[in-house]
Amino acid sequence: MAEARKYWNERIETMPAGKMRLLQEEKLRKQVRRVYDKSDYYRRRFDQAGIAPEEINTLDDLEKLPFITTQELRDSQQESMARDRHPFGLHNITARGEIRLVCATSGTTGFPTFGGLTKADLAVSYELAARCLWWAGIRPGDVLLHAFNLSMFSAGVPPVLMSIDYGACVVPIGLPGTEKLIQMARITCPDVLGCTPSYAEYLIDKIPQTAGISPSELGLRFLMCTGETGAGEPNIIAKLEQAYGAHVLDCHGATEAAPFAYVSCQEHSGMHFFAPDHVFCEWIDPDTGRRLPEEDGIVGEKVVTHLDKESAPLIRYRRGDIERVHFSRCACGHTSHRIQVIGRVDDMLKVKGVMVYPSAVKDVVNGFIPRTTGEIRVVLDKPGPRVDPPLKIKVEHAPGLAGQALDELKKDLRAKIQQMLRVNPEIILVPPQSLARSEHKGRLIEKTYEQPS
């Protein structure tokens, strides 16, 4: 019986690490040869690095090759627009007509970057999404109300196509406005609501106001969240799960890497990676570029290599994403590595040589809820990443806290941050609701040097 099946692809998902490595290396050799032969862009890069394709035989050999940065990717795409009339980059190795779907980033940090999927690439993306959905507990036939902007963005049209291929009943509602969305949810009775975690949070109050029912009366089984980091934060997960009576899934993908390759499990212990046979991930020290050993809990910048992608394959692409990676076995039973998105390389601070990310500070402070609200600001008196100690951190204390309770909170916060992040902080407690709330993630830094005096 189909229900008895534990994995979508048992052979790949339970493959022992050594065997997976052999599979990855076999694909890597072919891919390196292919990009060298088919693209003058890669040929030039390899030649400049003094590396011949036959020298790349193992995953360790990959370290001989240079990284592709986001800027280089954009330059490559600008050049292909001028030269070849397509935005997929000079590193693209397929004919323009082979590409079936064009994806793009939202372009929040500049000109969008593009990704293209051939028929075979689409088939891979369907397979990866199916592995994710199955492990998460979503089944073919489940009704998915997909409330993301229906665009080329990796949470837009691509997952709609993947979910349809999987066999879900997709209601591609998009973002029609809150009233319409709630009305459609009542009509279509979805099992799954796909939206950003902040939108799901916003709807908690709006559903009773608009429809006169509690969010749990929608009968959802899952909230499938992506686009922001909130669905990995324990306090937000708890709030959403309590309000909706549904399980929160944190999903992740990237236009240039793999559109839908990560999902969290019942344990909420990070997002499992479902694409090891198609995308090889390594993590580096962003300062030195050296690969980090695969040890549980490492924090580093992710570098991805497409092992068999046809359209515009990337070899050692560093997108600037900082992740914490867990290699230990998850209690859910899946052996894949799990990631937590920590932030961007640009957010990195260095205090006496120790790397600190504002989001990691927030994680520690979140552990002090309900004594704090969880809201923080890291205060910088001059541009980073180098910060003279102590690291100044504003923390909102909870309402009703005063006197000795505040002193104790300050002392406990200082000790915990020292222990967890290995930096010496100066904790500045501020009243609840005194720090401005922002729709945007990552507004965790207060730059005093930028404020008008």
Nearer to Zn ion, 216 or 269 (CB): 269
Two tokens, residue 400: 């009703």
Question: Helix, strand, or coil here: 166?
Answer: helix
Nearer to Zn ion, 267 or 295 (CB): 267
Q: Which has the closest alpha carbon to 158: 254, 259, 256?
A: 259
Nearer to Zn ion, 136 or 409 (CB): 136
- The distance from CA 112 to its chain's CA centroid, rounded to whole angstroms, is 17
Nearer to Zn ion, 327 or 368 (CB): 327
Q: Report the nearest approach of Zn ion to the CB of residue 251 (Å).
A: 14
Residues in the chain: 453
Q: Report the nearest approach of Zn ion to the CB of residue 274 (Å).
A: 11
The DSSP letter of residue 247 is: E
Nearer to Zn ion, 128 or 417 (CB): 128
> What is the rounded distance in angstroms from the CA atom of residue 203 to the CA atom of residue 103?
28
> What is the rounded distance in angstroms from the CA atom of residue 395 to the CA atom of residue 371?
10
Q: Report the nearest approach of Zn ion to the CB of residue 265 (Å).
A: 3
> What is the rounded distance in angstroms from the CA atom of residue 284 to the CA atom of residue 133?
29
Q: What is the DSSP string of 311-350?
A: SS--SSEEEEEEEEEE-SPPTTS--S-EEEEEEEGGG-EE
Nearer to Zn ion, 243 or 265 (CB): 265
Q: Report the nearest approach of Zn ion to the CB of residue 249 (Å).
A: 11
Q: Report the nearest approach of Zn ion to the CB of residue 268 (Å).
A: 8
Residue keyed to tokens 């079936």: 100
Residue keyed to tokens 């106001």: 209
> Strand locations in 105-232, DSSP E?
114-118, 143-146, 169-171, 192-195, 222-225
**Per-residue CA distances from 110 to 71, 149, 346, 374 (Å):** 10, 19, 14, 30
> Where do the H-state alpha helices sit in 282-428?
358-366, 404-421
Q: Report the nearest approach of Zn ion to the CB of residue 327 (Å).
A: 13
Nearer to Zn ion, 203 or 330 (CB): 330
Residue ranges that bind Zn ion, judged by CB under 5 A? 265, 267, 330, 332
Q: Report the nearest approach of Zn ion to the CB of residue 333 (Å).
A: 7
